[in-house]
Structure 1
Amino acid sequence: MQPPKISLPYFDIVLERFAEGDTDAEQVFGRHVHWGYWENPVEADGSIADFTVAAEQLSQRIYAAAGVKDGDRVLDAGCGFGGTIASLNENFNQMQLVGLNIDSRQLEKARQQVQPQKNNQIEFVEGDACRLPFPDASFDVVLAVECIFHFPSREAFFREAKRVLRPNGRLAISDFVPVSVFYHLYNFLRKIPTFSINSTYGNVNTEFTLNDYQKLAIATEFNLNLKEDITRNTLPTYPIVRRFFEQAGKQDSANVTGLIEIASRLGLLRYCVLGFEVISG
């Protein structure tokens, strides 16, 4: 069964810039298409080179939350252009690495630029994260790097992750997690004609709180054993993304990103890394 088609305007813009030969866009988003992580954000210099290092550091922080080690079989759901798979491939040995994505265009680029090394095996699969096309108990680790808010159902994804994970398997994600006050701001922003988060980032659900995650973990037989709020470490991302949209002639998207930045700087929308482990026995 073919996965459903979804709206991906953000990737439409990125891929359009690639096709036009925009080397800056390729450097910014050619490997990782997610926010960056700066250990000391005041030292961020706003350059493309600085951001690409920070984006790599964010991927490493998320798979570290899952305790990835040599020899693991790892699924990266929503793998984008394969950046996290590439990072694992470069830093670990004897891995079985699988990247899953619903968009064949992203997978095509991932297959072109990520080749196995260090006795690793790599496979990129087109599929739906809420209906994983893999057998039971077939992975040690499942990752979802900055993509779970696009999934039709977090619960469906968690249940599928639990199904494909082996006993004591680990799940790590990153997500934009709101505080309750955010809902009032978000409802206000939605009344602004030029504020359309969906027309910039596609289908997005940013209404899932940390308390919701704790309940979801219990319901799907996971322990939530790691919670990291890294909002301040990701803030230097916003000027980079706004500049990308402005250079692409997408001022409305730059404005939307700026409003999200304000919510993040006010502490209303938090960027969190969450680590889970299957409850066995």
Structure 2
Amino acid sequence: MTFEDIHLPYFDLLLAQLEQENTKLELAFGRHVHWGYWSEPPQGVVSPEDFAQAAENLTKKIYFAANTKNNQRILDVGCGFGGTIASLNENFSGMELIGLNIDIRQLLRAQEKVKAHSGNTIYFEAGDACALPFPDQSFDVVLAVECIFHFPERSKFFAEAWRVLKPGGYFALSDFIPQNFFSPLTAFSSGWPFARGFFGRCNLQYTLAQYRSLAQAMGFKGRIEKDITENTLPTYSFLRALGGELGIKDLSAKVETGIAEWTSRLGLLRYRILSFEKLKSK
């Protein structure tokens, strides 16, 4: 995959608004570009500051699921604006932190905003998640925060994650995962609006059973399977309110967000954090 192949209207909007110094958008999405996590979900619409903290909470949930600690080499795939790298940089020391993304525009903002300290080093690199430009067994941790559904093939990414991880290393991700009985109906996620809509290509057809099978085949041991759907639901009211303020009229934006919200509220689509350990031998 190349930059010419990607279609991300929501990043087009975000980057344009950030360039215009939209304060509310800067607060909400200037660091993290993913759903939020509330330990006690509030009622009503949350503020941009509250949403930003919830997004930070989600990031921490994922990297702690990967057994993250000081003095590690960590790869964050689909790093966006560098929010996960920034959080790791602020909370750990002696780290080598590498953010990878296929969209050069996101990397340029990450490079501008995230500066290393506490004995850490930080790099941002352009690359394809399914063909990682790194040597075998070169990372302690690989992270994929709410991005794997954009990748062409989860199996290729899993194979690459396994290849670049050291034996005993951890791999953690978050994804929207359908219930088994609902999976046949998620074929719509390969067509409009999910193929070329507001959020770009989104494949929401991969079940928990498929993840377990893929992990086992690759040589991973499953460590954490956490359903945090209820903790993420306030994200939807925030997005609706923000979309109204920005005057977003894109039909696919409303359809995609609405489908994700109501299938989640009905228990059909679950937001999960998964983590895996690379076994020393397959």
Normalising by structure 2, we get a TM-score of 0.93
1:109-132, Cα deviation, whole Å (9 max, x unpaired):
000000001000000000001000
- 1:260 Cα offset (Å): 1.4
C-alpha contact (below 8 Å) 2:78/2:100 kept by paired residues: yes
Distance 1:78 1:113, change over 3 A: same
The equivalent residue for 2:103 is 103
In structure 1, what is the equivalent of residue 53 of structure 2? Answer: 53
Corresponding residue to 1:208 among 206, 209, 216: 206
Bigger drift between 253-262 and 232-241 goes to 253-262
Matched to 2:65, the amino acid is: A
After the TM superposition, list the runs of 4 or more consecutive aligned residues in structure 1 that deviate by more than 6 angstroms.
188-191
- RMSD of equivalent CA atoms: 2.0
Q: Give the structure 1 partner of residue 9 of structure 2.
A: 9
d(CA) in 1 for partners of 2:210, 2:55: 27
Q: Is the 8 A contact 2:189 2:202 kept in 1?
A: no
- The letter of the residue matching 1:196 is P
Matched residue, 2:216: 218
Q: Structure 1 residues 181, 12: closer, same or farther in 2, change over 3 A?
A: farther
Q: Identify which range, 230-239 or 257-266, moves more after superposition.
A: 257-266
Which amino acid is 2:199 matched to?
Answer: Y
Between the aligned partners of 2:243 and 2:45, the Cα distance in structure 1 is 19
In the alignment, which residue of structure 2 is the partner of 1:196? 193
Offset at residue 43 of structure 1 (A): 5.9
Distance 1:189 1:244 in 2: 24
Moved more, 115-124 or 251-260: 251-260
Unaligned runs of 5+ in 2: none
Instruction: Give the direction of change, closer, same or farther, for the CA distance of 1:122–1:188 in structure 2 (3 Å limit).
Output: closer
Q: Is the 8 A contact 2:141 2:169 kept in 1?
A: yes
Cα 1:190/1:242, change in 2 over 3 Å: farther
Q: Which residue of 2 aligns with 1:23?
A: 23
1:234 partnered with 2:232: yes
Aligned to 2:278: 278
Q: Distance in 1 between matches of 2:187 and 2:205?
A: 11
SS of 2:99's partner is strand
Look up the match of 1:150.
150
Structure 1 window deviating more from structure 2 (181-190 vs 90-99): it is 181-190
Aligned length in residues: 278
Q: 1:97 is paired with a residue of what secondary structure?
A: strand
Measure the CA separation in 2 of the matches of 1:91 and 1:273: 20
Shift of 1:188: 7.4
Change (3 A) 1:183 1:227: closer
Identity of aligned residues (%): 51
Structure 1 unaligned residues grouped into runs of 5+:
none
1:209-256 CA distances to partner (integer Å, 9 max, x unpaired)? 000000100111101111000000000001112223233322321343
Alpha-carbon separation, structure 2, partners of 1:177 and 1:94: 34
Conserved 8 A contact 2:183-2:206: no
| 1:35 is the counterpart of 2:4 | no
Matched residue SS, 1:15 = helix
Distance in structure 1 (CA, Å) of the matches to 2:159 and 2:149 = 16
Letter in 2 for 1:128: D
Secondary structure at the aligned position of 2:236 is classed as helix
What is the CA distance between 1:186 and its match in structure 2? 4.4
Please state whether the residue corresponding to 2:5 is helix, strand or coil. coil
Whether 1:69 and 2:55 are equivalent positions in the alignment is no
Which residue identity does 2:207 align to in structure 1?
T
